Structure 1
Amino acid sequence: MKKIISLMATLAFSFALAQIPTLEVENQKKHPVILQDVKIDTKILGNLATTTATYTFYNPSNRILEGTLTFPLPEGVSVSGYALDINGKLRNAVPVPKERAKEVFESIEKRNVDPGIIEKVEGNNFRTRIYPLPEKGNRTIQITYHQELKNVASDYQYFLSFANATTIPKFNLKVWISETVNVPKILENPDGSFAFQKQGNQWIAEINKTDFRPNESLKVTVPKNQNSSNVVLQKASGDKFYFAANVGLDFPVKEKPKSQKIAIIWDNSYSGSKRNRDKELQFLDAYFADNKNVSVSLYLLNNAFENAQEFNVSQGNWSELKNRILNLKYDGGTDFGALKEINGVEEYLLFSDGISNFGDLTMKFKKPLNSITSTPTSDFNLLKLLANQSGGNFINLNEQDTQSALKTYKRLPVRFLGFKENPNMQELFPNIGSVISEPVNIFGISSGNVGKLTAVFSVGNDRFETPVDFSQAQQLENWQIAQFWAQRKINELELNSTRNRQEIKNISEQFGVVSKNTSLIVLDDINDYVRYRITPPQELLADYQKIVSQNKGRVLEERKNLLSKAFDKTRELKTWWNTEFKPVEKKEYPRVSNQSRVDAPAPPNAVREVQASPVANYDMVASNSAKLEETEARPKGKITLVDVESTAEYMKDFQNLQSADAIYQKYLENRSKHEKQVTYYFDISKLLFKKGNKELSLKVLSTLAELDLENEELYKTIYYLLKQRGHYDKELWITQKILEWRPFDAQSHRDHALALIDNKRPQEALNIYKSLLYQEFTDEISMRDNGIEEILIMEINNILKQNKNVDGSKIDDRLKADLPVDIRVVINWNKDNTDIDLWVTDPKGEDCSYGHKSTQIGGRLSNDFTQGFGPEQFLLKKAVKGKYKIKTNFFGERQNILSGPATVMAEVYLYYSDGRQERKIAVFQSQKENKRESDSKILIGEFEF
């Protein structure tokens, strides 16, 4: 009896910097999750601030929910603390490698237990996942982050947004400001009673309300205190101290010479429409008022890089260029790998959020590039890297007004050169030679009292010195200067996150700071900390150490068992292949009855031949064996794929449009009505491809990458269509990203190996297959993907058969077998916790399916995957004459509104691994979005012999 997968609703929480979360529950309007209790504590010292926000959510519905909260933090800020309520008490999270945290979370989640994680996704965006939010119950999370406040005139400014806040049953806000003589000023006040009172050496303001809706956000200016020390210390080990030194730049900053020929690179990918274009245009207004005569090349960046137009700005009149920018269309993913140097240009202005989701940055600009961003979800580090490498400036319009942004642009970059006296200091951040901005906080590790020092800076060829008095440093016990230091070090390392991956991981784990490589996780059961080898928080450490020894030896045993199963499966496949199957007369065979209406007709679909061409839905592997003989008794086969047509209502608007351009314009016109509907992009991309416009088809398809951050389900959909259409270079990049996010999934490794084969790199692919079967990448995989070894064995041996120059010496001989077959079908899907079934009906009328895995003529079906991403495989060594039908059945589908319905890729082969191998690929989606497809099977193709 098949297991029916329970469906789970997912909360989509929208959360801007430090604002009250706006909660949306898709398809749950009658039972919205309620933000029941908010408590925010902020401590400010000079321009250093630590904020801890505690939120309690109430789920009034009668179903368990999974919560997802994604929020940006400003430039240079990361999450440094996370806690989740366990049995009514907040439990602190512990740092774990990012991919490991995700693997553990998903493994435990399947048992309906209470894990919680917070991770960093693309850009400076953070995501927390909480499960379960109990029916008619509460869950509480707590998030802590440190930030360095910016200069505003002669003060520092702290801002806490309460934009779009609704009435909150319980609300508490408290702000402590230390070591300042003058009273802080409240520029925006959430409530008239919020005011600062002096208590000792602190200013404290607090409100405690019920059924409260903030009138406005909180904006506080903190006066700089010239009399207090500008160096603070926190004790480290031995005689070492972590320090933070606030240094003023009291020297003149030079302006750079004006450029006569510039290039504006305007990111007009789909996400570009979310930027603050008003701020960007205001900046350009100021720029051209200051640079009145300049030649401008406008380039557009999306999934491609194109020259849009040339302009000559005279006397500051840039109206023609402005109108061109105002009328741009925003579509497609973002590929920084497409960027190129432009001849004759003296300087670049790049307007982008810096998130490259369709390719990697591969170049360094030789001329100065000024990166300009206006959205809080940006990848600040990548934009800084582009500017710093080229000698340009990074301009953050989220935090600067137009005039201060123009001032930043015009100046020559200021670089920190270290301390003149060169005392015993370690790990200074910013790094020596780095470009800096005001206010300058220098973090590092020092020994004892190092006295009065001199910080050295450079502007162009000039050097400047500023005194820093460590002899007046103040040692603090209740401030995490170490975490500020660690956060700054991680920010520097993440400028080249690939090269510095291990060091980022080490620092993140040591100091509990969330990074690209490290997440924070909370587990419910002490035995899960033991099982997954995660050191628990302090209060559980003693119990953990008592039972940790019970788990020794388990991992090695699992690996041995998996490899042993692979040897057994190879022997089983050999036995099957060597068995002679004798078909009998056609008769009625029993049908599986434990799925409702299995004999219901498939939806009407237009059957079409796929013509052999470079853009067809398959590729042909030419025979390398001219000596291959075909007996008369062996019929020649043919594959016919079925075009599974979309039944979506929006397709009616496109049915009478003939040209690709007309279809694309209608797509843009209607997009706002279907903005988050994955099927819309899928269907229109498919339609444009049919019309022969591969460029527009790819642009629409790449837009799927912009709908969410690090969403493997969306990326798998993109991967399937790239593979089908022959975009093998992009297929390789997409599968590499999925593998980075989910290295614990066997399917992630297999997908990347298949992409390597498509890119004619079979040796690398073989190495991946070997590591899969030898379990070299994870310890838990054998429990998640039991049965996948049958598919891997077929593909390993196909590589060895098709590529005579490949070194197969590291593959155990017990895994090698020559297993050519007339028919091979493999289905894969993009959603975890999903059950999709493969059915093949032979000319005798016999079904091969999960309940009837072998047929009279020798058909064989692999393991039935009821969770995970598949795959499932059908094999037939020797085909008999007649027609074979291939169908799929959507038995149980995990709901996830954002990534749309399940997408299936079926790889259909003739003469697999016998030298005449032919492949065609079908990619299609569940026709009933977010509903179980248990009432019908979808016909996807036929073989005819």
Structure 2
Amino acid sequence: MNARHTLLILLALATVALLAFIGLALDPQMRNDLERWTAVPENTHVDATRQRTAQPLAPLPATESSQIAQPESAVSPNLLARLPLRPSLVATTYESSDTPSSTSAEASTWKRSELVANSAALMVGDDEMLPLEGMQLHAKIDGFRARVLLDLYFYNDNYSTLEGRLKLRLPEGATPFYLAFGQTEWEDEVLPKDHPIWRSREKVRSARTNPEDLLASRTETWIGPKEAKMVSRKKAAFAFRETVRREIDPAILQWAGPGMFSAAVYPIEPEQVHHIVVGYDVDLITLGDTLELRIDVPQDVPAALVDVNVAKLPAVAVTTQPAALGDTVDNHVFYRFEDVSGKALLVHQKVEGNVLLDGSDSAGSFFAAHLTPDIPASEEIPSSPRAVFVVDTSLSSNPDRFNVYLALLEAVLTNNRDSLQEFAVVFVDVEARWYADGFLANTKENVDALIVAANTLALEGATDVGLALREATSPRWYKSQNEQAWDVFFLSDASATWGEDDPHALAAILASGNAGPVFSYKSGLGGSDDALLAQLARQSGGALFSVTGSSEVAAASRAHRSRPWQLVDVTLSGGSDLLLSGAPRQLYPGQELVLVGRGRPDAEASAKFVLRRPGVETSSVLEAKFAHRMTSEMAPRVYGSVALSQLESLQRATGDVSEAYARHFRVTGPSASLLMLESEDDYLSYGIVPEDDTLVVTSESATARLRTAVAQIGESLGDPKARFLGWIGEMKGTEGLGFAPSEAFLGVLAAMPKSAFAAPERDLVGTTQLRSKLSQDLREKLASRTFSGDDLDDEAERRFAQNGADDGIKALSSLVEEHPGDSTILRDVGFRALEWGRGEQAYHLFKRVASARPWEPQTYHALALTLAELGHNDLALAYFEVGLAGQWDGRFGEFSTIMAIDYARFLNQVDASTLSAPEFAAQRRKEVTAGLELDEAGLLVTMTWNTDGTDVDLHVVEPGGEECFYSHPKTAMGGSMTRDVTQGYGPEMYVLPKTKAGKYLIKAKYYSSDSTRLTTRTKVAVTVYRNWGKSNETVERQVVKLESTGEVQEISSFEVK
């Protein structure tokens, strides 16, 4: 062989190696991330009479879909493993043993990423957190219910006293009932394993888990511990904020969205280990005949210990993963697991038959039963020939849920191909993107292309459930009328973090368009709004199915084809006030139920379900017997949680009873929070007095109150006017708020048309839809939830500059998705949306703040100005009146004056014909302007900000250099500044009646921040009016971030000729 031949061979080998390397290195999905797919799928049915308003996601050409191998069977057990992997999953998922292989006979729950339940972060700034040095978790299992106690130990490695915010991610359906906080004797950040800070095996085994017993078992290692009380949620939030301002020791645990709870604690003393205890109850997950408690332990906890106490059921085997031998004592099995940081522990009970728990508290006897009635299966009915799939692509789907959704999407399409002939798919976060503008034929090629395309999408942003339902019922591209309704498969956690959040208003959307039954799925991954999913199913005649692992996908994909039974009644001998969790109206074979009620059911009692086939008058009685029964202290809280969930769904008519139930059964959620103050006198100072909640619970059965509530407000559920009037009534009845609207205004509200209260809507239509358009760094941070506010601020600014407001807002909305209950973030994003001309988005954000914090009037000001700019004049007038009807705290400065000035401007400029009460508006114009010394101004500047406990000063430099600010509030030119606001939000205002030639400079100075936080994301929103009140008025809005105390930011400068 000559040298030339050798060289050619070497070159050929090198080329082959290079091509192989490229083929292995490149993610097949990244090769398929196209700006737009132009191939038309086969058999596409499009209604061409309706103009397309946004570019859809078209499927990939069939030739490209072959890059991913497809199995011969309909659905493979390891479906998720063969789906195209998202790059972020490689680094964030647990070991593959969490997902069963194709040969595994054991069912298991879904694979989790590192975003696990029981995660806890004690934030002491926007991005700073204190290290979690240790966690001891104690789980007590009674049948299908578990009580979990988290003992968390944090070390303050700073030299200052701080306020912290404990952010908890809890398992699906968890309901916190206990919070305690204090210091320990330990002053080192390292907690040795043998230190007595851990409770011994003996103490854990002998300890009771009732709230009144928890403190006593921990006093030896605590200094000055305090326990929280259950308090009305709004009273709790107000009392906590005011108490921190006085530098007294409070703490509060409140609901921050499905699966998320936030606990604010103060003071966190420097160089001390602090001990926080949180208790919650949760149902075990059902996997066939196995009840599973999954205990996730966060990663990177230096010391982690888990104790498990299982009350044995007769003839029921208990196993654990990892396998462990427990100690049996008095019919309980005890396990201890050490060094478990970053691990998932599983406790399994093989339970054949239904389980009933009973117990009592001061309000009487209660029971809770977990049962799967043997509902007769009938011949399957065909699917609707058409279906619309809603697929959630928000941040909460990243990364775990999205794989589940794709598994279900493919399985439903594949396993129902005999009758489901056509499908359409809409991907939803804060915007909606259709996969194609029309229904596609349900072929293997089209489904394969869909799965490939779906795996190129970015998973970010908040969740707009209202938008999803509007598109599912009335697609923007569909205009045909009177056609057969299609099935809707709603693949989302339904946590409405964006847009409309009223469940009745959301469910009312289903009454329009062509949507038929809505089918949804519970994955058990946590964070889902199961109450809303159940309501959508109930209202549409659909169902909510449980799919807790990949082994259940195949059966779940056809479950909707079983002909349902209508539930007529349910009885249980010895029980009363019976309620089913989720209040289902239809039952399907294999459906899992939780039945609760009062009393102690008879020893041999069985639940009897009266069922009826749709369209059939005769009924059948189905009996469900209980194979296991035990007395449990958890039974009353199961009843309380189920009852409260249904009472809160009718809050306008059940508010007083809902709060009493929440306090008595210690259920943290929309009605009540856990609040800890220094002394009884502090509670009394905020009107928090002992309530006779036991009497209310005893005398007001949940079923009776629900019937009364439905009779009172049933027809007005989902009506925005009724909701607004109900809110006004709540405001009037809130002690300490000083809200006193005039009778004339209340009369005007009552007379306004329903349409006046409809929320302004404008759909976002962005261009950042593909994963490849996000940087690798941002993709990883989104998947692992390690992004900061600054990361998303920078990304939003970049997108706004390149693509416009909708793309920028989508980037910021991930902050809302991750922190749905954080008013600071809601204000922040709302200000930015307003600055970028998206007042429709800002409206919903401000509205959420107003609902959660009604004592802060700046939000009503923001709502009024937003609505006025959008032309929703009746509702704008209403919010102006609300802002002027309260006796607000003096720390808000001259709020009423500033509100009146803007109201006068609105009344002067509004077209009277656009108001439903022009006479009232004319009278109010006279009254409001009479107290003002201002009709017009050459320059008017207002400033507000988004963080409490913060002092920001407005400065205006006039021509000649004279500077107007808080210590020099009046200038020779005639400029004046309102009173300095030093404790948060503002507003502050500068007015110059007549401008003179020269340069004007507007600045904001960050004088001081909240001293109990290391850093705070303070944003100032500044509005500059030139020629205010005149025909040539101009408006400029800017939002500016202030980084550090003492900083001065230039807002605007201009020159008057």
Tell me the TM-score normalised to structure 2 length: 0.68
Q: CA deviation at 1:852?
A: 0.8
| CA–CA separation in structure 2 for the residues paired with 1:562 and 1:112 | 33
Residue 846 of structure 1 corresponds to which residue in structure 2?
962
Residues 519-558 of structure 1, C-alpha deviations (whole Å, 9 max, x = no match)? 11111233311211223799xxxxxxxxxxxxxxxx9999
Task: Give the aligned length.
Answer: 798
| 2:514 paired with 1:363 | no
- Which residue does the alignment assign to 1:350? 490
Find 1:743's aligned residue among 854, 868, 879: 854
Aligned pair 1:511/2:665, yes or no?
A: yes
Residue 447 of structure 2 is aligned to residue 318 of structure 1: yes
Alignment of 1:35 with 2:133, yes or no, is yes
How far off its partner does 1:503 sit?
A: 4.8
What residue in structure 1 maps to residue 893 of structure 2? 786
Q: 1:825 matched to which residue of 2?
A: 941
Matched position secondary structure for 1:491? helix
Aligned equivalent of 1:268: 393
Query: In the alignment, is residue 797 of structure 1 matched against residue 904 of structure 2?
Result: yes
User: How do 1:237-256 and structure 2 match up within 5 A?
Assistant: 237=363, 241-254=365-378, 255-256=380-381
Contact (CA 8 Å) 1:94, 1:536: kept in 2 or not?
Answer: no
Name the residue aligned to 1:195. 326
Distance, in Å, in 2 between the alignment partners of 1:124 and 1:426 is: 28
> Shift of residue 895 of structure 1?
9.2
Tell which deviates more after alignment, 512-521 or 259-268.
259-268
Q: Distance in 2 between matches of 1:880 and 1:467?
A: 87
Residues 263 and 348 in structure 1, CA contact (< 8 A), matched pair in contact too? yes
Distance 1:503 1:230 in 2: 26
CA shift in 2, pair 1:898/1:160, >3 Å: farther
> In 2 relative to 1, CA 485–284 (structure 1 residues): closer, same or farther, beyond 3 Å?
same
Q: Secondary structure at the match of 1:535?
A: coil
Once the two structures are TM-superposed, the CA of residue 888 in structure 1 deviates from its matched residue by 1.9
Deviation at 1:826, TM superposition (A): 0.6
Residues 115 and 522, structure 1, Cα contact 8 Å, conserved in 2: yes
Q: What secondary structure is seen at the aligned counterpart in 1 of 2:435?
A: strand
Aligned-residue offset at 1:823: 1.5
Counterpart residue number, 1:296: 423
Cα displacement string for residues 868-900 of structure 1 (whole angstroms, at most 9, x for unaligned residues): 111110011222333322222233345999997
1:853 is displaced (CA, Å) by 0.7
Distance 2:949 2:961 in 1: 31
The amino acid across from 1:78 in the alignment is T
Please state how far the C-alpha of 1:397 moved relative to its aligned partner. Answer: 4.2
1:843–1:352 CA distance, 2 compared to 1 (3 A): same
Alpha carbons 2:355, 2:370 under 8 Å: kept:
no
* Pairwise CA RMSD: 4.1
Deviates most, 860-869 or 781-790: 781-790
Is it true that 1:883 corresponds to 2:999 in the alignment? yes
Partner of 1:91: 226
Residue 908 (str. 1) matches residue 1034 (str. 2): no
**Whole-angstrom distance in 2 between the partners of 1:357 and 1:560:** 28
Residue 158 of structure 1 aligns with which residue?
Answer: 293
Match of 1:393 in 2: 543
Query: Aligned match of 1:383 in 529, 533, 536?
Result: 533
User: Kindly tell me: are residues 425 and 535 of structure 1, through their superposed partners in 2, closer, same or farther at Cα, counting changes over 3 Å?
Assistant: same
Deviation of the 1:773 alpha carbon: 4.3
Q: Which moved more, 1:123-132 or 1:808-817?
A: 808-817
Does 2:1029 correspond to 1:931? no
Residue type at the aligned position of 1:385: Q
Q: Compare 420-429 and 313-322 and name the one that shifted more.
A: 420-429
Specify the SS of the correspondent of 2:920. coil
What CA deviation, in whole Å up to 9, does each residue of 1:404-444 have, x standing for no partner? Answer: 54364554456543236898832523476535674433111
Give the 3 Å change call, closer, same or farther, for CA 869–519 of structure 1 in structure 2.
Answer: same
- Determine the C-alpha separation between the residues in 1 that align with 2:466 and 2:1013: 30
The superposition leaves residues 243-288 of structure 1 with CA deviations (integer Å, 9 ceiling, x where unpaired) of 2234441232344423432222222234433343333333344334
Residue 767 of structure 1: how far off its partner (Å)? 4.5
Q: Which structure has more helix as a fraction of its residues? A: 2
Tell me whether 1:327 sits opposite 2:451 in the alignment: no
Report the 3-state secondary structure (helix = DSSP H, G, I; strand = E; otherwise coil) of the residue aligned with 2:889.
helix
Structure 1's 168 and 391: CA in aligned 2 closer, same or farther, altered over 3 A? Answer: same
Distance 1:101 1:301, change over 3 A: same
Cα distance in 2 for partners of 1:516, 1:894 equals: 27
1:847 positional shift:
0.8
Amino acid in the other structure paired with 2:932: A
The structure-2 alpha-carbon separation of the partners of 1:674 and 1:730, relative to structure 1 and needing over 3 Å to count, comes to: same
1:728 aligns with 2:820: no
Tell me the distance in 2 between the aligned counterparts of 1:899 and 1:252. Answer: 60
Q: Which shows bigger deviation, 240-249 or 98-107?
A: 240-249
Check conservation: 1:826, 1:871, Cα contact below 8 A.
Answer: yes
Aligned 8 A contact 1:678 1:899 in 2:
no
Match of 1:108 in 2: 243
SS state at 1:743 partner: coil
Question: Which structure: greater strand fraction?
Answer: 1
Q: Does residue 810 of structure 2 align to residue 699 of structure 1?
A: yes
Unaligned runs of 5+ in 1: 1-13, 539-554, 564-658
Q: Does 1:222 align with 2:349?
A: yes
Distance 1:136 1:789, change over 3 A: same
- CA distance, structure 1, for counterparts of residue 565 and residue 169 of structure 2: 28
Moved more, 455-464 or 91-100: 455-464
Please show how residues 576-587 of structure 1 align to structure 2 within 5 Å. none
For the residue of structure 2 that corresponds to 1:513, the secondary structure is coil
Counterpart AA for 1:176: V
**Mean alpha-carbon deviation: is it higher for 243-252 or for 841-850?**
243-252
Aligned twin of 1:866: 982
Corresponding residue for residue 261 of structure 2: 126
Aligned in 2, Cα 1:364/1:823: closer, same or farther, shift over 3 Å? same
Q: Deviations over 1:91-122 (max 9, x none)?
A: 33222222322222122223333211111122
1:70 to 2:167 alignment:
yes
Identity %: 19
Letter in 2 for 1:387: A
**Structure 2 alignment gaps of length 5 or more:** 1-112, 184-221, 501-505, 693-733, 743-765, 913-917
Which segment is superposed worse, 697-706 or 889-898?
889-898
- Is contact 1:15-1:22 (8 Å) kept? no
The structure-2 alpha-carbon separation of the partners of 1:859 and 1:50, relative to structure 1 and needing over 3 Å to count, comes to: same
Aligned partner of 1:624 in structure 2 is none
* Alignment-derived partner of residue 920 in structure 1: 1036
Q: State whether residues 535 and 582 of structure 2, in contact with CA within 8 Å, keep that contact through their aligned partners in structure 1.
A: no
Counterpart for residue 628 of structure 1: none
3-state SS of 1:721 partner: helix
Match of 1:718 among 818, 829, 833: 829
Question: Partner of 2:996: helix, strand, or coil?
Answer: coil
Is residue 46 from structure 1 mapped to residue 180 from structure 2 by the alignment?
Answer: no
Of 439-448 and 728-737, the range deviating more from structure 2: 439-448
Kept after mapping to 2: 8 A contact 1:72/1:125: yes
Question: Matches of 2:266 and 2:1025 in 1, distance apart?
Answer: 41
Aligned CA distance change for structure 1 residues 674 and 184 (closer, same or farther; 3 Å): closer
SS at match of 1:733: helix
SS in 1 for 2:864: helix
- The aligned counterpart of 1:443 is 596
TM-score norm. by structure 1 comes to 0.75
- Which shifted more, 663-672 or 94-103? 663-672
* 1:155-203 Cα shifts (integer Å, max 9, x gaps): 322222235263317x4614131443445222434xx5x5141x33x22
Q: Per the alignment, do residues 295 and 514 of structure 1 end up closer, same or farther by CA in structure 2, a change over 3 Å counting?
A: same
CA distance in 1, matches of 2:771, 2:313: 60
Secondary structure in 2 matching 1:164? coil
Q: Does 1:528 align with 2:641?
A: no
